[in-house]
Amino acid sequence: MRVSRLFAAVALGLASSLSVAADPDKAIRDALNAIQPGMPIEAVAESPMPGVYQVQLKGGRQLYASADGQFVIQGYLFQFKDGEALNLTEQAQSQSVAATINAVALKDMVIFAPKKPKTHITVFTDTDCGYCQKLHSEVPELNRLGVEVRYMAFPRQGMGSHGANTLTSVWCAKNPQEAMNKAKAREEVPAATCDNPVAEQYQLGQLIGVQGTPAIILADGQIIPGYQPAPQLAELALQAK
């Protein structure tokens, strides 16, 4: 059952049948796992809202729950402070996504870097994606503006697709940057196989909520779903630094 389907089950009263426990962490975990066994819960902690607990899932997604686990909320939690509305959910999600991406070894990415990068973006890419190709054509401009571009693989049609095979050949090439240039220019990339991270990165992208390509992750973990022109993207990337 997907996380988004969790709440239909809650509406049917599955969670309400659980007894109230003295330990909120255990009560919330028990309630969620009763509805979706194996739910990827990373942490349960008190949220800034009194009486509400924040549930962090692997990949950055957030849920909120009552201390007894009988009520669960999926959505944004805002805090109104000094005349401004702060999206606490987005902040928490971005921090988690940044930590997840930063845990990936740079050697497992295909990187295009300027001599003195000011910041970086991580792009989940598919070589068969038109907007990915357009974004790649602007990588030199992004580099000129001080933005390092780090590619991770995300074959939109799944493993075994043409895109997955091409991405594997890129990652296994003697010169991955050159192979990426060819793939994004719609040129044939010599087939190659090796021990590669394509499948693992595809799964990671799904975990953090990537649904299409290009999916751009700023240094602070903010996700930009889709192509952005180089000047606009560089401005966002430098702000996120």
Annotated catalytic residues are 126, 129, 132, 156
Residue 133's φ and ψ, nearest 5 degrees, are -65, -40
Assess contact for 229 and 135: CB atoms under 8 A.
Answer: no
DSSP letters spanning 136-170: HHTHHHHHHTTEEEEEEE--TT-TTSHHHHHHHHH
What is the CA 85 to chain-centroid distance, rounded? Answer: 24
Three-class secondary structure assignment of 60-102: CCEEEEECCCCCEECCCCEEEECCEEEEHHHHHHHHHHHHHHH
